[in-house]
Structure 1
Amino acid sequence: MQMTWLETVVLGVIQGLTEMLPISSSGHLRLASALFFDADAGASFTAVTQLGTEAAVLLYFAKDIWRLAKAWVVGIWDKPTRQTTDYRMGWYVIIGTIPIVVLGLLFKDAIRDQARNLWLVAASLILFGLLLGAAERFGGKQRGFDDFRLKDGLLLGVAQAGALIPGVSRSGATITAGLFLNIDRAVAARYSFLLAIPAVLGSGLYSLPDVFEPAGAGLIPSGAQMIVATVIAFLVGLAAVHWMLRWVERHSVYIFVWYRVIVGVLIMILLSTGVIDAT
């Protein structure tokens, strides 16, 4: 089914907004496609439009990324630089990316098919929303970037891999893990965005050839529509990442917990009453 321009704009906005918040962009794209357009835009469309949101992250964190990259490169030859937090963080981002790359390749077909079942999306929204709430309640929130260790980078990377399942949320999973590890909420959020950069860019570029040939009766975008959706995701995502980081610096994440649970329950009601189909 050919994607319409209305679908292009709506899905681009949803991607840009929900990718930055701990509420799952893939889950919301899957829900919106089923509820309003009666067809799935597909995992590849999600992955490619994420290039737009990651471009927003690259722009927003440009100074931080340059500082970390410079420290990592210099530290390969310069021993004193290896003692800096920036050098270590560069390695933690690289190591933390490994789990999602390995699992993404191993379970590629399942991620594009079975994992997009709306029952699973609803359950993931609720379960991981409650976990986020528990992490907010019991996490110490005392540790900053200077306190990061290798195990933190690896554990947050494993948590990020959970976002391969629509409904989990990349930022939500990593913030949850960070809070359970007693990492400061704002620090966990910033690290989650930095950690996502290599994984999302790699996934988007890898999925680019598949986006125009979705499995099954999915929505098929034109090249122009794909570009527009990605640009919209970039613009909305730039505003969303700014808002998200300011929010977690001043507030708890309970608003996202309640939202996830409500949306998850709503999806289950819609599925149970036959308003939308799980597949």
Structure 2
Amino acid sequence: MDLIELAKAAVFGVVEGVTEWLPISSTGHMLLLNQFLTMDVSEEFWNMFLVVIQLGAILAVCVIFFGRLNPFSRKKDRGQRRDTWALWAKTVVACLPAAVIGIPLDDWMEANLGSPFVIAAALIVYGVAFIVIETARERRAERVAAELAARPAPRHLAAPEPAALSRSELADAGARVQSLEELDWKTAIGIGLFQVLSIVPGTSRSGSTIIGGLILGCKRTVVAEFTFFLAIPVMVGASGLRLVKYLLAGNVPTTMELAVLGTGCVVAFVVSLAVIRFLMDFVRRHDFKPFGWYRIALGVAVIAWFALH
């Protein structure tokens, strides 16, 4: 076993585990990292590894949200099981647009849109989108709060003072969809349509769905959770498709390559466990603007680096 190659695979696993769930583009980061840290594997294996390593990350979602996603749990009553099945149905239906559009374009996207400048442009454009959307939500919520505060209400109906909430919390308080149970079919499908944008490297699957959810009136925690659930069929399907294409092309991974893939998946799983919990805690109290600024800064840095080199 080549320990250096396994160490490289572990680094890619860390990057995958962190960037898959934060709205900053996992594929973009992996492609950029490959510019500086190249593994000693065949090109065919690398293209397969880049997608299949996501299975480690998606397993973390299944572990963390197992109780929420398990429709057979004995702890749930009939109504809760029905809600769980409905959530699964909305998740699967919301994934159809990405499957219908993304699968036929998979090879073309890989061949034509994997350049650092395309990735950088997507990072910047959607970084700006995060900042603009969050700012608009906060201003709209502040206007509504000001209007409500100007209307005297009976003491027994008094609500918490808007001033006690931060701007980001105020925006969430005014969201139309406050829980997954309130997520209707129209909104779920709309988020799925936004997910189609992620076929462009650098966009971020979670970034596109989160932006869609915010625009469609979802609370941050709701769209974050639904984004995690959407990842299950999308990433399992994408990984399975890429693995089948790899094997049908006559490729047979070496023992070392299997070890590299296993290492990457395991590390991505462990890191994802921590990152998912961090993101859910973060969005309860903060908005997505920091991720927008990060995307812009990274995009500018990428353009500067590759322009000079």
TM-score (norm. length: structure 2): 0.77
Residue 77 of structure 1: aligned partner? none
- Aligned residue runs from structure 1 range 267-278, under 5 A: 267-274=302-309
Instruction: After TM superposition, give the deviation of residue 89 of structure 1 in Å.
Output: 2.2
Residue 268 of structure 2: aligned partner? 233
Indicate if the aligned counterparts of 2:134 and 2:288 stay in contact, CA closer than 8 A. yes
Residue 114 of structure 2: aligned partner? 116
Instruction: After TM superposition, give the deviation of residue 210 of structure 1 in Å.
Output: 4.8
Instruction: After TM superposition, give the deviation of residue 13 of structure 1 in Å.
Output: 0.9
Residue 17 of structure 1: aligned partner? 18
Instruction: After TM superposition, give the deviation of residue 100 of structure 1 in Å.
Output: 1.2
- The alignment status of 1:95 with 2:104, answered yes or no, reads no
Q: Cα 1:208–1:65, aligned 2, differ >3 Å: closer, same or farther?
A: same
Instruction: After TM superposition, give the deviation of residue 211 of structure 1 in Å.
Output: 5.5
Q: Cα 1:16–1:211, aligned 2, differ >3 Å: closer, same or farther?
A: farther
Residue 281 of structure 2: aligned partner? 246
Task: Indicate the RMSD between aligned Cα atoms, in angstroms.
Answer: 2.8
Gap regions ≥5 residues in structure 1: 75-79, 215-220, 275-279
1:150 maps to which of 181, 185, 192: 185
- The alignment status of 1:180 with 2:215, answered yes or no, reads yes
Residue 49 of structure 1: aligned partner? 53
Instruction: After TM superposition, give the deviation of residue 42 of structure 1 in Å.
Output: 4.5
Residue 103 of structure 2: aligned partner? 105
Q: Cα 1:45–1:212, aligned 2, differ >3 Å: closer, same or farther?
A: farther
Aligned partner letter, 1:64: R
- Aligned residue runs from structure 1 range 163-174, under 5 A: 163-174=198-209
1:95-150 per-position Cα deviation (integer Å, ceiling 9, x unaligned): 10101111221102112221211111000001011112222222353222233221
Indicate if the aligned counterparts of 2:13 and 2:53 stay in contact, CA closer than 8 A. yes
Q: Cα 1:146–1:65, aligned 2, differ >3 Å: closer, same or farther?
A: closer
Residue 199 of structure 1: aligned partner? 234
Indicate if the aligned counterparts of 1:45 and 1:211 stay in contact, CA closer than 8 A. no
Q: Secondary structure at the match of 2:37?
A: helix
Q: Cα 1:8–1:61, aligned 2, differ >3 Å: closer, same or farther?
A: same
Q: Cα 1:27–1:180, aligned 2, differ >3 Å: closer, same or farther?
A: same
TM-score (norm. length: structure 1): 0.84
Aligned partner letter, 1:99: P
Indicate if the aligned counterparts of 1:135 and 1:177 stay in contact, CA closer than 8 A. no
Distance across 2 between alignment mates of 1:149 and 1:248: 22
Q: Cα 1:114–1:264, aligned 2, differ >3 Å: closer, same or farther?
A: same
- The alignment status of 1:58 with 2:49, answered yes or no, reads no
Deviating more after overlay: 33-42 vs 222-231: 33-42
Aligned partner letter, 2:52: V
Residue 135 of structure 1: aligned partner? 133
Instruction: After TM superposition, give the deviation of residue 84 of structure 1 in Å.
Output: 5.7
Indicate if the aligned counterparts of 1:96 and 1:156 stay in contact, CA closer than 8 A. yes
Distance across 1 between alignment mates of 2:15 and 2:247: 20
Residue 126 of structure 1: aligned partner? 124
Aligned partner letter, 1:24: S
Distance across 2 between alignment mates of 1:38 and 1:19: 20
1:193-226 per-position Cα deviation (integer Å, ceiling 9, x unaligned): 0111111011112212456899xxxxxx701111
- Matched residue count: 260
Distance across 2 between alignment mates of 1:60 and 1:125: 28
Gap regions ≥5 residues in structure 2: 138-170, 250-255
Q: Secondary structure at the match of 1:167?
A: coil
Query: Which of 1 and 2 has greater Rg?
Result: 2
Residue 145 of structure 2: aligned partner? none
Distance across 2 between alignment mates of 1:229 and 1:38: 12
Aligned partner letter, 2:124: I
Deviating more after overlay: 27-36 vs 38-47: 38-47
